[in-house]
Amino acid sequence: MRRVPPRNATRQKSNRCTAVSLTPVLFIAGAVAAGAYWASGADPELAARGDGHGRGLGQNGAYDYAKAGWTVEQILVHYYPGTTLGALPPTKISVRLQDRDDDTLDVYSSTGLTVAGRQASAGEAAHLTPIPGGAKVTITSGCSGNVLWEGETDNAWVDPVDAGPARPGEEHLTMCDGDDTYRGSLGVALEGDRYRTVNYVDIEDYLLGVVPHEMTPNWADDGGAEALRAQAIAARSYAATEDRTDYAQTCDTTDCQMYGGSADEDERTNEAVRSTAGSVLMMDGKIVHSEYSASSDRDGDGEDALATRPPETGAPILAAPAPDATAPGTEAAPDGGLSLEIPIDLDPNVVVAGASPIDAKYRQLGGMASSIGAPIGPEMRLPTGEGTFRVFSNGAIIHTEDLGAQVVDLSFLDEIVAAAEEN
Identify the pLDDT of residue 355: 56
Furthest CA-CA distance within the chain: 76
Does the pLDDT value for residue 338 go beyond 80?
Answer: no
**In whole angstroms, what is the distance from residue 128 CA to residue 130 CA?**
6
Task: Check whether 283 has a pLDDT greater than 50.
Answer: yes
- pLDDT, residue 13, reads 34
**Cβ(242)–Cβ(206) under 8 Å?**
no
Q: Tell which residue, 344, 340, 343, has the closest CA to residue 320.
A: 340
pLDDT band at 54 (very low <50, low <70, confident <90, very high): low
Q: Which string of b and e fits 355-370 if b means at least 16 CB within 10 Å?
A: ebbbbebbeeeeebeb
**Pairing, β 92-96 against β 250-251:** parallel
Q: How many CB atoms lie within 10 A of CB 410?
A: 25
Q: What is the distance between the alpha carbons of residues 217 and 12, in angstroms, rounded to a whole number? A: 30
* Maximum average pLDDT range among 153-157, 280-284, 318-322, 413-417: 153-157
Can you list the alpha helix ranges (DSSP code H) found in 188-252?
203-214, 225-240
Q: Which residue has the higher pLDDT, 162 or 377?
A: 162
For residue 344, name the pLDDT band (cuts at 50, 70, 90): very low
Distance (Å, whole) CA 423 – CA 418: 9
Average pLDDT for residues 210-223, to the nearest whole number?
A: 98
Residue type, position 266, single letter = D
pLDDT of res. 377? 64
- Whether the per-residue pLDDT at 172 is higher than 60: the answer is yes
Sort strands 375-381 and 92-96 into parallel, antiparallel or unpaired. Answer: unpaired
6: which residues sit within 8 A by CB, 6+ positions away?
Answer: none
In angstroms, how far is CA 321 from the centroid of its own chain? 22
Helix pair 59-67, 72-79: axis angle to 10 deg: 140
pLDDT at residue 363, rounded to an integer: 76
Which positions ≥6 away from 254 have C-beta within 8 Å?
A: none
- Exposure string of 324-342, with b = 16+ CB inside 10 Å and e = fewer, is eeebebbeebeeebbbbeb
Give residue 296's pLDDT.
Answer: 58
22 close to 279: Cβ distance less than 8 angstroms: no
Distance CA 128, CA 105 (A): 5
Neighbouring C-alpha atoms within 13 Å toward the C-beta of 366: 5
Q: Please give the residue that has the higher pLDDT: either 333 or 238.
A: 238
pLDDT of residue 393: 78
Alpha carbons 143 and 337: distance in angstroms, whole number = 53
Higher pLDDT, 136 or 416: 136
Exposed e or buried b for every residue in 161-195, given b needs 16+ CB within 10 A? eebebebeeebbbbbbeeebbbbbbbbbbbbeeeb
Q: Give the residue, 169 or 310, on which the prediction is more confident.
A: 169
pTM of the model: 0.69
Give the residue with greater pLDDT, 64 vs 395.
64
Provide mean pLDDT across the span 384-403: 86
Provide the 10 A C-beta neighbour count for residue 82: 19
- More reliable by pLDDT, 230 or 334: 230
pLDDT recorded at residue 372 = 86
Q: How confident is the model at residue 352 (pLDDT cuts 50, 70, 90)?
A: very low
When comparing pLDDT for 307 and 380, which is higher?
380
Helix (H, G, I), strand (E, B) or coil at 340: strand
**What's the chain's average pLDDT?**
77
| 7 has a pLDDT exceeding 80 | no
Nearest-5° Cα angle at 175, 193 to 185: 75
Query: Could you tell me which of 398, 207, 261, 228 has the C-alpha nearest to residue 320?
Result: 398
List, as one string, the DSSP characters of 16-48: TT-B----SEEE---SS--S-S--TT--TTGGG
Distance between start and end Cα atoms, the chain: 64
Query: Alpha-carbon distance 119 to 140, whole Å?
Result: 12
Q: What is the mean pLDDT of residues 199-222?
A: 98
**pLDDT score of 94:** 98
* Mean of pLDDT values over 68-78: 92
